[in-house]
Structure 1
Amino acid sequence: MTLAQLLGTCCGTGYLRPAPGTWGSLVALPVTYALHSIGGFPLLAAFTLAAIFAGLWAAAEMTRGQEDLDPSEFVLDELAGQMLAYWAISLPAWMHGLEITALWPGWVAGFLLFRLFDIWKPGPVGWADRKKGPFGVMMDDVIAGIMAAIGIMILAGLAHGVLGL
């Protein structure tokens, strides 16, 4: 296994069936928790950005000379997108000195919203998905992650503001 395959498949997670993208998203949960626990939001943010850039490289390497420019076993994009969604719980937990697990509804909402946007591909997610090459492979999930983060913030605002929970 090459370095690009090791990174792109998240250490082989992308070969799990069915639904390798969901498995790739699930990998983000313990990785996010560990990174946040060790270094707070700054470490999570740095790792996420590194994963995006590593994903662009790994996608280019894994698809070089291939007909399939977005192989299902490539799940580093799901890891990065899912981690982006969790910025919406990591940042406030870090800023307010909260245990990130106390924001468990955000973990659930973030996972479900990210998977919804990644599968449904609304608006800009679909636009990025139609792009060929490493950019399209990575950016649809990055955009889905940003949309999921916004969804978490809206739901938190509704729960804590409107509903007073």
Structure 2
Amino acid sequence: MNKEELKEKYGKKRVPHQWRGTDFISAQICTFFGSGMSPKAPGTMGSLAAAIVAYPMALLFSKCPCLDISIPLGNLTINFAFLAAALIVFFAAIPFVKKAMNDTQTEDPGWIVIDEVCGIFMTFAFVSSSALLAAPWLLAIGFGLFRFFDILKPLGIHKFEAFPGAWGVMADDLLGGVYAGILMGVIAAITF
């Protein structure tokens, strides 16, 4: 066999990925800096990356009193820094998600994981930064709760996917984050 025949028979075939069909900035934002490029479970990888990033964010928020604004609401706590982060990601990502979907001619592809990032940040908006720092295992609980709501889409979450275009991609995860966050807040209230 010559070199070309060997390459064709045993060579690793390069499978084009859809995210290559959009510009670099949109790809980086939509895949949350590559975590959505995982060939297996990109949504889980994007959620995991966001949960990992949430810890240094909580550390930063706790060090800056102007950012660490948590208000008790009954037994729950609203962490305005994570709430703001979730809403900023939500609205800032819409044009990039829209462009990426238009460029690649896809509807809510798995490699777009910025919606999972938004949902994870919303999950932690119901827990104070000090609670996340005191009990880092809450990050794992929040990750698991969010993935539950993101995958199964109970309690009307699936209806939010029907919103047009990028709004539907982002909105269902934001609502999933709200539900996961309420449960996180209850767990944190019981723990602390």
TM-score by length of 1: 0.82
Residue 109 of structure 1 deviates from its aligned partner by: 2.0
The reply on whether 1:153 has 2:191 as its aligned counterpart is: no
The total of aligned residue pairs comes to 154
- Quote the Cα distance in structure 2 between the aligned partners of 1:31 and 1:2: 22
CA contact (8 A) 1:81 1:142 kept: yes
Counterpart of 1:111 in structure 2 is 143
SS at match of 2:106: coil
Closer, same or farther: CA 147–6 of 1 in aligned 2, 3 Å: same
Q: CA deviation at 1:43?
A: 4.3
Aligned partner of 1:142 among 174, 180, 183: 174
2:32 is paired with a residue whose SS is coil
Deviations, residues 89-119 of structure 1 (Å, cap 9, x unaligned): 2xx34xxxx3633233432221111000000
Contact 1:21 1:75 in 2 (8 A): yes
Measured in 2, the distance between the counterparts of 1:51 and 1:17 equals 24
Alignment match of 2:39 (pick from 14, 17, 21): 17
Match of 2:49 among 27, 34, 37: 27
Letter of the structure 2 residue corresponding to residue 63 of structure 1? M
The CA distance in 1 between the partners of 2:137 and 2:24, in whole Å, is 38
Query: Any unmatched runs of 5+ in structure 2?
Result: 1-22, 63-67, 69-79
Write the letter of the residue equivalent to 2:142.
Answer: G
Is the 1:129–1:140 Cα contact (8 Å) retained in structure 2? yes
Q: Shift of residue 122 of structure 1?
A: 0.8
- TM-score norm. by structure 2 comes to 0.72
In 2, the alpha carbon distance for the partners of 1:34 and 1:65 equals 33
Deviates more, 1:124-133 or 1:21-30: 124-133
Counterpart of 2:185, as a letter, is M
Deviation at 1:7, TM superposition (A): 0.4
| CA distances 1:49-105 after superposition (whole Å, capped 9, x unpaired) | 22111221111110115542101110000011011101122xx34xxxx36332334
What is the aligned-residue RMSD (CA, Å)?
2.0
Gaps of 5+ in 1: none
Contact (CA 8 Å) 1:24, 1:76: kept in 2 or not? yes
- SS where residue 123 of structure 1 aligns? coil
The structural deviation recorded for 1:143 is 0.4
Q: Which amino acid aligns with 2:86?
A: T
Q: Which residue of 1 aligns with 2:153?
A: 121
Counterpart in the other structure of 1:56: 94
Q: CA deviation at 1:5?
A: 1.3
Note if contact 2:31-2:37 (Cα within 8 Å) is conserved in structure 1: yes
Q: CA separation in 2, counterparts of 1:104 and 1:38?
A: 15
Q: Which has the higher helix share?
A: 1
Structure with larger Rg:
2
